[in-house]
Structure 1
Amino acid sequence: MNHTVQRIHQVRLPLPMRLNHVNSYLIEDEEGWSVIDPGLATEDTMTVWADVMKRYRLTFGDIRRIIVTHYHPDHYGLAGSFQQWSGAAVYSSRETFEWADRTYHSESIRKTAQFSRKCGVPASLVAEMSGHIEELFTWVKPVGGDKVILEPEAEIQLGQWRFQVKLGSGHAEGSIGFLHQASRMFIGGDLLLEKITPNITYDYSTDTDPLKDYFDTLNMLRTLHIQSVLPGHGPLFQLSDSFIDRVIEHHLERLQEIRSMWRHSNTREFTPYEISTRLFPKVVDSASLSFALGETVAHLRYLQNRNELVIIERDDALFCRYNSI
């Protein structure tokens, strides 16, 4: 482990979901402390933070900067409270602030439910999914104070070291990571995860192609020759030469699974939900179903944009038809 990593403190924060933790990072410099991804605004998270601050003899007045790698609630949720208690500015990408503003409100929950129904999710499951999202949103505290935009390729001082800001997409628009060029160490949020692949999701609310965006991000990260990763979930890991290839191959295999559904069935059309249940047969809880459906639709979007798949809207429902059939 290099000297830089030893001076960065990983804080493992609990999550009330299947993915049971998120990593925050504390970095000290001469003027105070920076906090990266303070976690979800739950009582369990605050209990951990109370213990951590006692261990390092910190008060909120010692925090001079709050950094959020992306707008997802497990990373962004407590940023507004940390800002209120510390008076520190929140740093992130422009897209992160924009997506947080457009996501965390009741209209967003309504639109998500409408999309799930169009995808063919049964009404009872849609209601459960909406209830889970509504609860999740109560654990997100809006950022109302000073915001600092981190521009791609800009440099930022974290502790004693200069890091370069890297911008990625696919998992979350405007995700940021920080590269320490001398050690090739990367504080990456959810851009690179060792044991799981970041959820790539889509809901037709934008004219984007998240899976392509994530492939582009991975290929950009490949050029950085990263050696060690401080991820948003899981322990620090060393990035092997084949790691990015394996992640890309995982998604290519999933695309092939979708193609094979038509080759091994007489059905001409599937709803996105039907495809999701075949791709993720072990997903039964409503919280995980939201992730599974979004990931499925992101892969359908990728095939649609390459003219392999047609999405048909009929009777306020979406149906998928494979072009080669």
Structure 2
Amino acid sequence: MPVQKARIVPEVAGAAAPVIRAPEPAELVEVARDVFWSRIPLPGKLNHINIWLLREEDGFSVVDTGMYTPDAEAAWESLLAALPEGMPIRRVFVTHLHPDHVGMAGWLLDRGADEFWMTRMEYLTCRVLVAQSHDDTVPEDFTGFHRAAGWSAAAVDAYYDHYHNYGRRISRLPRSYRRLQEGQYHVIGGHRWRVVTGNGHSPEHACLYCEDSKLLISGDQVLPGISSNVSVTPLEPTANPMADWLASLARLKAELPDDLLVLPAHQRCFIGLHDRIDALIASQENALAGLRTALEAGPKRVVDLFSVLFGRAISDENFMIFSLATGEALACLNYLCERGEADYTTDARGVRWYRAPAP
């Protein structure tokens, strides 16, 4: 399918953000000179990841890759065939370690890409998670982590089936990488991009900022219509990623201008970075306020707090959502515990009961 120039029109009269038509499968939509938007399908409700292709003289660099699935392979085969003049993918940049971002990186290197770029913490943590996914058994401290959150025996049993999924969703992870780091510059297709890192959603998430073109490839660090999942996992059960995420958002607002065209990993491009960051922080602060109130009413398990934090009950029938909700609720609880605004006791079954601290 040919490259199509984006048509930018106001969403409504006076709207600040442009409407750029989302790409069809195997299509490139140009959002700025030599910067193209395409999509790779995902399973589940999100159904796609946005990928960003930066045209150079002898090929393309790509930012993020999609999850390793048959549908993603088919989409990439079509996209590679559609690249103008048969130009190849030369460089692969990955914002962070989640499978929908890194999953097809090795597949692209197997098909001729020359360079693979990732931040150090993202790459090394990814290697650990891939290695763990090949364990013969599930570690007892990992199942204990979920029992402590109030998971039922059936949910813990389901976790045994899902423990290996991370490795299944990533094609061969490259054995070596080139390091992205804060403040580093890359000249890609005549544009000068600065690496801006963030934390919380993942250990060392990389965004790419082009000052001259007023573009920000934001990955999952800032999304237009949903909030990034911020989770505690069994790998680091006492972590405080919520504090990291809130601090990262504040730093992004302080360092980057408001009038950028933000190119996120999901949904649509938008303008209004500062307002979106303010909304994300305010929403999280409201959730934390509701959590404080709930804990003042009496001790709660992690699973008892889903309706408080997410506005609805979440069952283990949708295991992925249930697991993400557990991780995010723990992130909020660890945040309050570290601030002295919550604590917990552990009962004889190993379940933690969280409460407001005694006066």
Instruction: Using structure 2 for the length normalisation, give the TM-score.
Output: 0.83
Task: Summarize the alignment of residues 1-325 of structure 1 with structure 2, pairs less than 5 Å apart.
Answer: 5-57=32-84, 62-104=88-130, 105-106=132-133, 107=135, 110=139, 112-203=142-233, 205-206=235-236, 207-223=238-254, 224-226=256-258, 227-263=260-296, 265=297, 267=298, 269-280=299-310, 281-284=312-315, 285-315=318-348, 316-324=350-358
Deviation at 1:241, TM superposition (A): 3.9
Q: Which has the higher contact order (CA 8 A, sep 6+)?
A: 1
SS of the aligned residue for 2:46 comes to: coil
Q: Distance in 1 between matches of 2:154 and 2:307?
A: 16
Q: Tell me whether 247-256 or 204-213 shows the greater mean CA deviation.
A: 204-213
Cα deviation digits, residues 219-238 of structure 1 (max 9, x gap): 11102114211001011111
Cα deviation digits, residues 32-70 of structure 1 (max 9, x gap): 2111111111010111112212221476x8221111000
Q: 1:133 to 1:189 in 2, by over 3 A?
A: farther
Instruction: Quote the RMSD (CA, aligned, Å).
Output: 2.3
Q: Distance in 2 between matches of 1:282 and 1:42?
A: 30
Q: Distance in 2 between matches of 1:261 and 1:307?
A: 16
Q: Distance in 1 between matches of 2:121 and 2:217?
A: 19
SS of the aligned residue for 1:243 comes to: helix
Cα deviation digits, residues 284-321 of structure 1 (max 9, x gap): 31110111111100000110011011133343332212
Q: 1:131 to 1:252 in 2, by over 3 A?
A: same
2:31–2:37: 8 Å Cα contact kept in structure 1? Answer: no
Q: 1:228 to 1:57 in 2, by over 3 A?
A: closer
Q: Which amino acid aligns with 2:275?
A: S
Q: Distance in 2 between matches of 1:272 and 1:294?
A: 9
Deviation at 1:117, TM superposition (A): 1.7
Q: Distance in 2 between matches of 1:133 and 1:233?
A: 25
2:96–2:202: 8 Å Cα contact kept in structure 1? Answer: yes
2:102–2:170: 8 Å Cα contact kept in structure 1? Answer: yes
1:90–1:143: 8 Å Cα contact kept in structure 2? Answer: no
Q: Which amino acid aligns with 2:319?
A: S
For structure 1, list consecutive stretches of 5 or more residues without a partner in the other structure.
none
2:60–2:90: 8 Å Cα contact kept in structure 1? Answer: yes
Deviation at 1:278, TM superposition (A): 4.2
Q: Which amino acid aligns with 1:322?
A: A
For structure 2, list consecutive stretches of 5 or more residues without a partner in the other structure.
1-7, 9-17, 19-29
SS of the aligned residue for 1:195 comes to: coil
Q: Tell me whether 68-77 or 199-208 shows the greater mean CA deviation.
A: 199-208
Q: Distance in 1 between matches of 2:138 and 2:70?
A: 23
Q: Distance in 2 between matches of 1:155 and 1:170?
A: 23
Q: Distance in 1 between matches of 2:205 and 2:333?
A: 22
Where is the helix percentage greater, Structure 1 or Structure 2?
Answer: 1
1:89–1:145: 8 Å Cα contact kept in structure 2? Answer: no
1:230–1:237: 8 Å Cα contact kept in structure 2? Answer: yes
Q: Which amino acid aligns with 1:56?
A: L
SS of the aligned residue for 1:41 comes to: coil
Q: How many positions carry a matched residue from both structures?
A: 321
Instruction: Using structure 1 for the length normalisation, give the TM-score.
Output: 0.91
Q: Distance in 2 between matches of 1:317 and 1:30?
A: 58
Cα deviation digits, residues 127-176 of structure 1 (max 9, x gap): 33443453453121242344100121010122220100001001011100
